Amino acid sequence: MSSAVHSTEEYDMDIRSLSSSRSHPQDPPYVHKVGLPPKQNLFKEFKATVKETFFADDPLRSFKDQTRSKKFILGLQAIFPILEWGRNYSFVKFRGDLIAGLTIASLCIPQDIGYAKLANLDPQYGLYSSFVPPLIYAFMGSSRDIAIGPVAVVSLLLGTLLQNEIADPVANAAEYRRLAFTATFFAGITQVSLGFLRLGFLIDFLSHAAIVGFMGGAAITIALQQLKGFLGIKKFTKKTDIVSVMHSWNWQTIVIGASLLSFLLFAKYIGKKNSKLFWVPAIGPLISVILSTFFVYITRADKNGVQIVNHIEKGINPSSVNQLYFSGDHLLKGARIGIVAGMIALTEAIAIGRTFAAMKDYQLDGNKEMVALGTMNIVGSMASCYVATGSFSRSAVNYMSGCQTAVSNIVMSIVVFLTLQFMTPLFKYTPNAVLSAIIISAVVGLVDFDAAYLIWKIDKFDFVACVGAFFGVVFASVEIGLLIAVSISFFKLLLQVTRPRTAILGNIPRTTVYRNILQYPDATKVPGVLIVRVDSAIYFSNSNYIKERILRWLTDEEELVNKSGHQNIQFLIVEMSPVTDIDTSGIHAMEELYRSLQKREIQLVLANPGPVVIDKLHASDLAQQIGEDKIFLTVANAVAACSPKLLSDV
Amino acid sequence: MSSAVHSTEEYDMDIRSLSSSRSHPQDPPYVHKVGLPPKQNLFKEFKATVKETFFADDPLRSFKDQTRSKKFILGLQAIFPILEWGRNYSFVKFRGDLIAGLTIASLCIPQDIGYAKLANLDPQYGLYSSFVPPLIYAFMGSSRDIAIGPVAVVSLLLGTLLQNEIADPVANAAEYRRLAFTATFFAGITQVSLGFLRLGFLIDFLSHAAIVGFMGGAAITIALQQLKGFLGIKKFTKKTDIVSVMHSWNWQTIVIGASLLSFLLFAKYIGKKNSKLFWVPAIGPLISVILSTFFVYITRADKNGVQIVNHIEKGINPSSVNQLYFSGDHLLKGARIGIVAGMIALTEAIAIGRTFAAMKDYQLDGNKEMVALGTMNIVGSMASCYVATGSFSRSAVNYMSGCQTAVSNIVMSIVVFLTLQFMTPLFKYTPNAVLSAIIISAVVGLVDFDAAYLIWKIDKFDFVACVGAFFGVVFASVEIGLLIAVSISFFKLLLQVTRPRTAILGNIPRTTVYRNILQYPDATKVPGVLIVRVDSAIYFSNSNYIKERILRWLTDEEELVNKSGHQNIQFLIVEMSPVTDIDTSGIHAMEELYRSLQKREIQLVLANPGPVVIDKLHASDLAQQIGEDKIFLTVANAVAACSPKLLSDV
C-alpha cells in the first residue's frame, strides 16, 4: 500500500463506514485524548485578557530590551512619527509631496470656504481649519496619505447640532462661534481620550454599512441645501405658483451655477475614466472659482442679484483660547456636541487611514492616530479652527498625486497660510453659486451606489442598516440617521449573541468529516445518533436558547425516526469546536440538557471542546458528571465510540 | 488490510505525514468540494431569521393541519393551560396539591405581612397579593411548581423606587398606595407585552452571575433593615455611646426576636439535613407567629414597648380600579417603576419556572408564562395588590410538599381568603419582631455562597459581575446594584464581539486533525505553513481586530522562523469552521488581509467556510479573487494541497 494513500486517508476510502467498525468492536481505535490546557494562574489570565482587549497591537513591543536613552528616543518617535520617517526623507519624496500638496491646496481652498458655510461660520474659519490642524497632524500622525481639514459631513453635523442650541447663528454670531470652538475642543478631548485609554475599538461599533448609508444621506442633504445657493434663492417663496417662484430666482446665478456644476462633473467623469487625468477634477474647482470670479468682476453681475462671497477676513488664525466656554450651561452643550462630532470625525479619519494603509501595506496604529487627531483639534480650537479630520475626496487626490509622507499636508498648510495672508481680497467677487457647485460635486462622490449594491448582495441585514441610516438623515436629521445606524448595528450584534446558529451534522461520503447537512446535501446522518454543532460561545444571553434549540432538534429527529421506523436516537453528540467560551449560565444550561437527556435515556457526548471550555467543564465537575469517556477529540472519534454500543441494542 | 483500519483512518496511521504526499505529488488526492448551499430567496431567508429570533419555540406547531373548531379549542388551551391538564386531573393529584397548598399558605401568610412592610404598605396588601394573583396564575400559567405571591426582593425594590418619588409613605399613604398600584399595573403591562411581542429573550440579558450577586445583596440589605424591627428600635439614636443605644433598645423585643430567629434557623437546618423533614422549616413561621402572639397577649408585652401588628384590615381585596393614575406626572413615574419592577419580577419567576421544569422534565413556554404573570399583575393592580411573582423559598417548599399542578396555588389562595375574611383580628398581638425574624430567616437562603463559589471557579469575569451587583446593592442601592449587574453583563458581551479568540493550529501526531497548539502541546506546526483559526463570526465590530491579529500572528511566526532558520512561511491557512457569519465589513477585512499577504508573497488559503460564509464569499467575488482552488473542506486537505508546492521552493 503506497504512502500516498496514507497521506489522504481522510477522504479517499469509500468502504469505511460505521458498519466496518461494528464488525470489529474488539479493536479499540487509537483515540487522542482531549487536551486540558496548562493551568494558568489568575493574575496571568487577567493580564492576558486586558492585554488582548486594550493593547491588542502590543504598542510597547519595540521598547523591550532597550537602554534608557534609546527608550526615550523611541518614546519621542512614538509621539512624533516625523522624527522616525523624517530621517529617511529625500528630495525624491519631497517632489512627490510638493506636487500633491499643491494639488490638494487648490482643491481645499474653495471647499473650505463652502464647508464653513455648512457649519454656519464665516468663510475664513474654513481656511483657518486647513492651516493649523494639518501642520500638527504632519508631526504626530502616522498616515502618509490622509489630507486633513474641514469636511462636508462633519461641517453639516456640527452646524446642525450647534443650531439646535443657538437658533440664529447670524444674530448671535459671537456666541455661536464660541460654542463651535468649545465643541471642537471637546471633540479633540474625546479623540485623545479614546486613543489614550485605548478605547479606539469603540468606533468599530459603527458598521461599514451604516457609514455608507449615513454618508450618502448626508451628501444628499448637503446637495439639496446647496441647491438654494445654486438657484440664487435667499428664501423659498411661500407662494407656489410658478411665476412667483420664477421671480424669486435669479437667472444669472442659475447660469453660472449650472454651467460650473456641469464643468465640474465632467471633470470628475474624465478623472474617473482615465486615472492619469486625475488632476483634471483636482484643479477643476480652482479653475471654476477663478473663471467665475473674473466673470462676475467684469460684468458686475453682483449688482443684478448674483450673491458673492464679498468679504473674507485677512490674516492668519487669531487666538481663541479665551473664547472657550469652561463653565456654565454652554460647557455641557459644547461637550455633548463635541463628543458626537469628534466620534464621527474619528470614524471618517480612521476609515480613510486604514484604506490607504492597506493599499500601500503599512501599519497604522489606530490609537496613536486618535491621539494625533485629537491633539490637532484641541490646538485648533484655541486657534479659531472648527473640527477638522481626514477628507475622503482630498485624501484620494493626495494619494493619486503621488504624496509620499505627511509633508504634503505641510505644503497645503503653507499655501493656505499664504492665501489667508495675501489673497483673501481676491475672493470678493467669487459668486456663492460656484461654492455650491463645488460642494455638490464634492459630495456626490459620497453617495456610493456600488458599495450599497455590494452590501445588498452580501448581507441583507447590513443593507437595512445602510438604508435606515440613509433615510434617517434625509428625512429626519443627521442625529436621527446616526442613531438609527448605531441602533441597527447594535441590534445585529445582540441578535448574534442571543440567537446563535446551530446545525445538524452528517458524514460526508468517503471521509470521516462531519459537516452541516444543509450545506452538504450528500452528507448522511448516522443512525441512532444525532450530531449537533453549536456555533457560538455559550453565554447567559443564549444558553437557554441553545439548550432548547438542541432539545427541539432532538424532538424533530425523533419524530422523523418514529415515522420511518429507523433506529431510535440513543446518542446526542454536541460538536463544540466553535464554542470558544462558556460561562456559569452556559454550564447550568448544559447541566439541564444533560438531565433532560437522562430522562429520555439518551447519552450526551461532547466532541472537541476548546481549551477554555474543557477547563470550565472540569472546574464545574460537569465533565465528571457527563463522564470523561464521553468527551472526544473529534466527531469521528465520538461516532466510532458510540456505534459498537448501538449494535447491542439492535 | 482490515476494514477496522478504514473506520479509524483519521487517527491510526503514524506513517502519514507531509513527506509522504511529497513523494507522490502526481497522485492528486480525492478532495470533496466545499458545498455551496442551495440559494434561498430573500423572503424565505428573512422569514427564517424572524422565526428563529421571535418564534424559536415554534408556538403554532400544534395548530398545523387541524380543523377550525379544533384550532379554537387548542387556542383556548394555549391561553388557559388549565383546560388541558385539568382533564386529566385526579384525586391522587389533588391530595398532593392540597397538602402542598396548605403548607405554602402557612408559610406565605406571615411572610406576606412582613413583605408588605418592605414595600412600605399596610400588612393586608401583602395578603391581598397572595389571594388574587395566584388564582389567575393557576388558570393561565404553565409551571406546575411555582408558588405565586409577594416576594422579598421585589417588595424591597418597589418600596425603594416608590420612596424615591414619594418621600414619606406614611404621611402620603393614599398617594403612595395609588402610585404602587399604578406601578403594578405597568409591571403587568410590561410582562404581557414582552410575552406577546415575544421579546422574552430580553430577560436573558441579566446573567446568572449578576442575579446571584443582586439577590445576595438584596437579602443582606433586607436582613439589615429588619434588624431595626428586630431590636425594637424605631429610629437609630444619633448618640453613639453605648448607654444611649442600649436605652433605645427594648429587651423584651430582643428576647422574642432572637429566640424566634434561632428557632427558625434551627428549623431550616433540620430541613436541610434531612429532606424528609422539609415541613419543619415550612410550618416554623406559622408556629412562631402563633406562639409569640399568644405570649404577647398573655403578658401584654406590648405595654412594655414591644411593637405589635395591631391592626389588619378585615375582608377581601377592595377594588382599586379608580385609584390607578392614568394621567399626569404620576403616570410616567408609575410606568418607569413598573417597568423595572416588572422585569425583575419576571426574571425571578422565569428562573424558578425553568429550574423546576428541568427537574420534572416538562416544557415551559417562556413567552406564554410572561403573558400569564403579566395578566395576573394587571388584574391584581385593580384589586389592591402590588407586584406578585414566583417566590424561590415557597416554590421549593411547594415542590417538596408534593404539589402536582397549579391547584396548590388555588388552595393557598383559598386559605388566604379565609384568613382575610375571618382571622385578621387574631394577628392583633403578633409582635413585629417575629415578622422580622421570619423575613431574615427567609432571605438568608438568597445569599448563595455555593453558587458564588462555583461562579468563582468557572468564570472570573462572571464573579466580578456577581460581586459588583452584590456590593452595588449593599453599599449604594438596589437600582445601582441592578445597573452594575446589567452593565457588566453587557460589557462582557461587547468583549465577546470585539475581541474574539484566535488560535494557531498544529497537527496532532498520528492523525490528520489540526488543533490549538496551546491546548495540545504535542501538536506540531507544518513547516512553511501558518494555520490560524478564527473563533467567531466576522462582523464590523471585530473585523479589523481579526485582520490585524492574523497579521500579527504571521509577523511573530516569521520572526521565529528567521531566528531558527526554518523554511519561510509561504501559506496562511485560515480555518473558518467557527466563522458562522461574515458581514460587509468582514468581507472588506478579508480583502485587505488578502492584499497584505499578496504584498508579502504569501498565499491565503481558506479551510471549511460554512454555508453563510461561502455564500457571501461568492456574492462579493472574493472567492474568485482568492481562487476557488484555495478553498478546502478541511485543514488537512489544505495542507496536503500546499505541501507539494512548498517542495519546489526548498
Task: Express each pLDDT in B360-403 by its tens digit.
Answer: 877 778 888 999 999 999 999 999 999 999 998 899 889 988 89
Smallest Cα–Cα separation from B119: which of B474, B478, B481, B441? Answer: B478
Check B20 against A4: CB less than 8 A apart.
Answer: yes
Using CB atoms within 10 Å of the CB of residue B577, give its burial: 0 to 12 exposed, 13 to 18 middle, 19+ buried: buried
**Lookup: cell for A32:** 487522542
| φ, ψ for residue B516, nearest 5 deg | -50, 120
**B498 interaction partners in chain A (CB closer than 8 Å):** 53, 201, 204
Check A499 against B52: CB less than 8 A apart.
Answer: yes
Of A6-10, B90-94, B196-200, highest mean pLDDT: B90-94
Tell me, yes or no, if A273 comes closer than 8 A to chain B by beta carbon: no
Pick A619's closest partner by Cβ from B15, B18, B457: B457
- Give the CA angle between residues B173, B176, B182 to the nearest 5°: 140
Best of B1, B206, B362, B459 to disrupt the A interface by mutation (most A CBs within 10 Å)?
B459
Strand partners, A308: A431
Query: Residue A191's pLDDT is what?
Result: 95
Tell me, yes or no, if B295 comes closer than 8 A to chain A by beta carbon: no
Separation CA A409–CA A427 (nearest Å): 23
pLDDT band at residue A121 under the 50/70/90 scheme: very high
List the beta strands (DSSP E) in B485-552: 502-507, 514-516, 529-534
Instruction: Output the CA torsion sign for B328, B331, B334, B337.
Output: negative
B107 to each of B110, B227, B398, B438, B444, how far by Cα in Å?
6, 21, 10, 9, 16
Separation CA B545–CA B498 (nearest Å): 7
Q: Is A426 helix (H, G, I), strand (E, B) or coil?
A: helix
Residue B633 Cα, gap to closest chain A Cα (Å): 9
**B552 interaction partners in chain A (CB closer than 8 Å):** 57-58
Q: Tabulate helix, strand, coil % of chain B (nearest 5).
A: 65, 5, 30
Tell me, yes or no, if A628 comes closer than 8 A to chain B by beta carbon: no
Tens digits of residue pLDDT in B171-211: 899 999 999 999 999 999 999 999 888 777 777 777 888 88
Q: Is pLDDT of A15 > 50?
A: no
Are the beta carbons of A206 and A469 closer than 8 angstroms?
no
Strand partners, B515: B506
Check A20 against B7: CB less than 8 A apart.
Answer: yes
Tens digits of residue pLDDT in B594-646: 988 988 889 999 998 888 889 889 888 899 999 988 999 889 989 988 877 66
Pick B584's closest partner by Cβ from A462, A583, A592: A462
Strand partners, A530: A572
A288 to each of A303, A417, B160, B453, how far by Cα in Å?
21, 21, 69, 74
Tell me, yes or no, if A380 comes closer than 8 A to chain B by beta carbon: no
Check B501 against A581: CB less than 8 A apart.
Answer: yes
Residue A111 Cα, gap to closest chain B Cα (Å): 30
Residue A611 Cα, gap to closest chain B Cα (Å): 5
Tell me, yes or no, if B548 comes closer than 8 A to chain A by beta carbon: yes
Separation CA B252–CA A485 (nearest Å): 65
DSSP assignment, residue B472? Answer: I
Check B610 against A516: CB less than 8 A apart.
Answer: yes
Give chain B's radius of gyration (CA, Å).
32
**Lookup: cell for B201:** 429573550
Q: Is pLDDT of A26 > 60?
A: no
Smallest Cα–Cα separation from A424: which of A131, A93, A48? Answer: A131
Are the beta carbons of B136 and B379 closer than 8 angstroms?
yes
Residue A622 Cα, gap to closest chain B Cα (Å): 11
Domain boundaries, chain B: 3-30+500-649, 90-495
For B140, residues 6+ apart whose C-beta sits below 8 A from its C-beta are: B79, B80, B81, B82, B371, B372, B375, B376
Tell me, yes or no, if A201 comes closer than 8 A to chain B by beta carbon: yes
Q: Is A178 helix (H, G, I), strand (E, B) or coil?
A: helix
Q: Is pLDDT of B556 > 90?
A: no
Query: Residue B650's pLDDT is what?
Result: 41
**A497 interaction partners in chain B (CB closer than 8 Å):** 493, 496-497
pLDDT band at residue A457 under the 50/70/90 scheme: confident
Tens digits of residue pLDDT in B121-174: 999 999 999 999 999 999 999 899 999 999 999 999 999 899 988 888 888 999
Tell me, yes or no, if A610 comes closer than 8 A to chain B by beta carbon: yes
Pick A204's closest partner by Cβ from B460, B513, B540: B540
Separation CA B201–CA B53 (nearest Å): 9
Mean pLDDT, rounded, of chain B: 84
Q: Percentage of chain A with pLDDT > 70?
A: 88
Best of B6, B8, B60 to disrupt the A interface by mutation (most A CBs within 10 Å)?
B8
pLDDT band at residue B28 under the 50/70/90 scheme: very low
Are the beta carbons of B386 and B427 closer than 8 angstroms?
no
For A421, residues 6+ apart whose C-beta sits below 8 A from its C-beta are: A314, A315, A316
**Lookup: cell for B95:** 391530595
Which residues between 396 and 455 in chain A have a beta carbon less than 8 angstroms from any beta carbon of chain B?
A: 454-455
**B29 interaction partners in chain A (CB closer than 8 Å):** 4, 7-8, 11-12
Are the beta carbons of A74 and A84 closer than 8 angstroms?
no
Q: Judge if pTM exceeds 0.80.
A: no
Tell me, yes or no, if B23 comes closer than 8 A to chain A by beta carbon: yes
Per-residue b or e along B482-509, where b marks 16 or more CB atoms closer than 10 Å to that residue's CB: bebbbebbeebbbebbbbbbbbbbbbbe
- Give the CA angle between residues B579, B582, B586 to the nearest 5°: 115
Pick A611's closest partner by Cβ from B461, B494, B518: B518
Query: What's the CATH fold of domain B3-30+500-649?
Result: Transcription Regulator spoIIAA (3.30.750)
For chain A, helix (H) and strand (E) counts, in that order, are: 27, 8
Using CB atoms within 10 Å of the CB of residue B422, give its burial: 0 to 12 exposed, 13 to 18 middle, 19+ buried: exposed
**Lookup: cell for A531:** 450530531
CATH code that applies to domain A3-29+500-649:
3.30.750.24
Tell me, yes or no, if A262 comes closer than 8 A to chain B by beta carbon: no
Tell me, yes or no, if B510 comes closer than 8 A to chain A by beta carbon: yes
Smallest Cα–Cα separation from A280: which of A291, A293, A294, A266? Answer: A266
pLDDT band at residue A229 under the 50/70/90 scheme: low
Tell me, yes or no, if B566 comes closer than 8 A to chain A by beta carbon: no
Separation CA A389–CA B232 (nearest Å): 67
Query: Residue A227's pLDDT is what?
Result: 80
**B39 interaction partners in chain A (CB closer than 8 Å):** none
Tens digits of residue pLDDT in A144-157: 999 999 999 999 99
Check B512 against A10: CB less than 8 A apart.
Answer: yes
Check A614 against B519: CB less than 8 A apart.
Answer: yes
List the beta strands (DSSP E) in B429-556: 502-507, 514-516, 529-534
Check B460 against A520: CB less than 8 A apart.
Answer: no
Separation CA B152–CA B442 (nearest Å): 9
Separation CA A539–CA A589 (nearest Å): 9
Smallest Cα–Cα separation from B57: which of B182, B142, B139? Answer: B142
Query: Residue A38's pLDDT is what?
Result: 66
Which residues between 66 and 95 in chain B have a beta carbon less than 8 angstroms from any beta carbon of chain A?
A: none
Tell me, yes or no, if A537 comes closer than 8 A to chain B by beta carbon: yes
- Give the CA angle between residues A396, A397, A402 to the nearest 5°: 100
Best of A13, A32, A491, A545 to disrupt the B interface by mutation (most B CBs within 10 Å)?
A32
Smallest Cα–Cα separation from B611: which of B630, B595, B633, B629? Answer: B633
Smallest Cα–Cα separation from A373: which of A399, A355, A353? Answer: A353
Pick B201's closest partner by Cβ from A10, A201, A545: A545
Tell me, yes or no, if A50 comes closer than 8 A to chain B by beta carbon: no
Separation CA A282–CA B12 (nearest Å): 67
Are the beta carbons of A640 and A29 closer than 8 angstroms?
yes
Check A459 against B584: CB less than 8 A apart.
Answer: yes
Tell me what the mean pLDDT of segment B399-408 comes to: 90
Residue written as cell 404573570? Answer: B373
Per-residue b or e along B337-365, where b marks 16 or more CB atoms closer than 10 Å to that residue's CB: bbbbbbbbbbbbbbbbbbbbbbeeeeebb
Tell me what the mean pLDDT of segment B58-74 comes to: 77
Tens digits of residue pLDDT in A234-271: 544 444 455 555 556 677 788 888 888 999 999 888 88
Query: Residue B414's pLDDT is what?
Result: 95
ipTM of the complex: 0.78
For residue B624, the one-letter residue type is Q
Please indicate whether residue B591 or residue B304 has the higher confidence score (pLDDT).
B591
Which residues between 349 and 368 in chain B have a beta carbon less than 8 angstroms from any beta carbon of chain A?
A: 354, 358-359, 361, 366
Q: Is pLDDT of A631 > 80?
A: yes
